[in-house]
Structure formats: structure tokens, C-alpha cells
Amino acid sequence: MKDLFFGILAYCKQNWRRILTVLLYPPVWIVVLSTVVSGGATVAVFLMRWEQSPIAIPAYVAAAYALTVVVMRCIKYFPRWFRTGKGKLHSTHYSGLFLNDVEFRTTVTLYGSLAINLLYIVFNACLAVYYHTNWFGILSGYYAILAAMRFLLARYVRRVGIGTDQIGEYRRSRLCGIILLTLNLTLTGAVLMILYQDKGYEYSGMLIYIMAAYTFYITTHAIIDIVKFRKYNSPVMSATKRINLSAALVSMLALETAMISQFGAEQTPEFRRIMIASTGAGISLIVITLSVFMIVTANRAIRKFKEMER
């Protein structure tokens, strides 16, 4: 037995690279089988409340191994899949147009955001009627105004295009800045209702994690787009991205109310008010800054273009 142990140890020492490769990159059927079995075992542990039983440890180990091999396979093959998929998208007409034509991509994004905005409007309006509260009515109005701005920008891009009329683009950007500045009053009213009328979102079960992932995604994406689209020097495109950021920040505020409602039961009402007031003030300050920047930048650019025309 001792010789067998040392023999295995010597073999592992000499072939550790091969063994590690086999363990981290097993055949696909093993990856699928381990994922299904470990996932089912982990779900059973939580459903049957076996967290303290001996079966929990093997289930956790199997789940950790399954997650590791899936991640390692994705790291190895994802760049190849990404290049293949991107090549196929470029080869088709509409997907290639979306990837290569900034104006077409902006138009599609605007109408897509408009459609999502309309869903938010209907959703919050239905909640306002169902719960008999003005909180969801205010949010519905907020998204309705954002939808109106997106519609104005989308119609302008469809009729005029991007880069053909700089003065016209700056005027649309200035109008959006003025509307956003006025819209900040609605946001302030929503924050006050959260603080003093104990209103807010509540997500049940796993929905709160899904909404959290979606909210962080759209917020991060909106911030990246603001920086990324500056190089195109298009006021309309920049205004679109700033509107997206304003909508994402309001979603972040709604998520915070849901998180505090679900996980902050042990916290005092004062803590809840401080957190929501701080977040609301920060979001309001960001929206005001974006609005003033859009208005001032547009006024300066329009004045400069008019002076050049004289």
C-alpha cells in the first residue's frame, strides 16, 4: 500500500500538467453532466434544508468543480466564439448595418429604449391604479417625459440624420437639457414620497436579484456610452446617452428601496431615510449637472456657429 501511494505521488508529480488539463478541461458530456447533477444536488440541499447534513459538503464541492470547469471552458473558447459570431453578424445586412453604421445604430437604440420606456409607463401606471398610490403615478410620468424626449430625438435622426445640421442637433440637446432640469422636480417629489410616505418597490423571491443585475448593467452601460460616444461629436447622440443615464439612475433608486425593504428589516427608520435621501440627493445632483452642462454647451456652440455665419 505504501509503495502504491508513493508510486501515485511520483506519477502525479511527473504528469501534473496533464492531470490538471484533464481536470479543468474534461469532455463536454462531463461538463454538462456535472453541471446538471451538482446544480440539482445544491437545489435539493436548500429546498430540503440539508445545509447542516453530511450531504451538503459533497454537493457544494461538486457545484464548485462544475462552476470551475464551465468558467475555464468559457475562458478558452469564448474569444473564438465571439470572433465567429461577430463575423457572422457582419456578414448579414441588418446586423452588419447595426455594427458599422453609427446613425442606424443610434436610431435602433432610440426606438428600442422608447419601447422599453413605454412598458415602464404602462407598468407603473397599472401599479398606481392597483395600489391607489401617487408614487407609481409619479414614476409613470417621469418615464413618460423621458419617452417623449427619446421620441423627439429619434424622429430628428430619422428625418435629418446625424452630423448634417450641428445647430439643429445642439438645439435638440438644449431642449432635452431644459426638460431634464424640469424633470428633476418630479424626481425630488418621488424621493420625498419614499421618505415620508414609506413608498417604494418590492420584488419577491429571485426577482430582486434579476432586477439588481439588470439595473447595474444598464447603469454601467449608460456611463460607458457617455464616454464612448463623445468621439462622434454629435449633440443628439450625447443627449441620448445622458437620457439613458438619467433613466438608469432612477432605476437604481427604485432598486435601493426594494433592497432596503427586503433586506433592511433590522435597520432603523432613520437609517432608511438617510440612505434613500443620500442616494436621491446624489442622483438629483447628477441629473442637474447633466442638464446644465447640456444647456450651457449648446448655447455656446449655437452662439459660435451664428458668429461664424456672419
Q: What confidence tens digit (pLDDT) does each residue in 141-153 have?
A: 888 888 888 888 8
Q: What is the pLDDT of residue 11?
A: 61
Q: What is the mean pLDDT of residues 49-64?
A: 78
Percentage, residues of the chain above pLDDT 70: 78
Q: What is the pLDDT of residue 53?
A: 77
Q: Is the pLDDT of residue 32 over 80?
A: yes
The rounded distance, in Å, linking the Cα atoms of 123 and 197 is 21
The rounded distance, in Å, linking the Cα atoms of 69 and 184 is 48
Q: Is the pLDDT of residue 290 over 80?
A: yes
Q: What is the pLDDT of residue 72?
A: 78
Confidence of residue 95 (pLDDT cuts 50, 70, 90): low
Q: Is the pLDDT of residue 246 over 80?
A: yes
Q: Is the pLDDT of residue 5 over 60?
A: no
Give the closest residue to 241 by CA, choosing from 110, 147, 151, 117.
Answer: 110
Q: What is the pLDDT of residue 284?
A: 85
What tens digit of pLDDT does each residue of 190-214 get? 777 777 665 556 655 566 777 777 7
> How many residues make up the chain in this entry?
310
What tens digit of pLDDT does each residue of 58-82 get? 888 888 888 888 887 777 777 676 6
Q: Which of 82-91, 143-152, 164-173 has the lowest mean pLDDT?
A: 82-91
Q: Is the pLDDT of residue 91 over 60?
A: yes
What tens digit of pLDDT does each residue of 272-285 get? 778 878 888 888 88
The rounded distance, in Å, linking the Cα atoms of 101 and 85 is 18
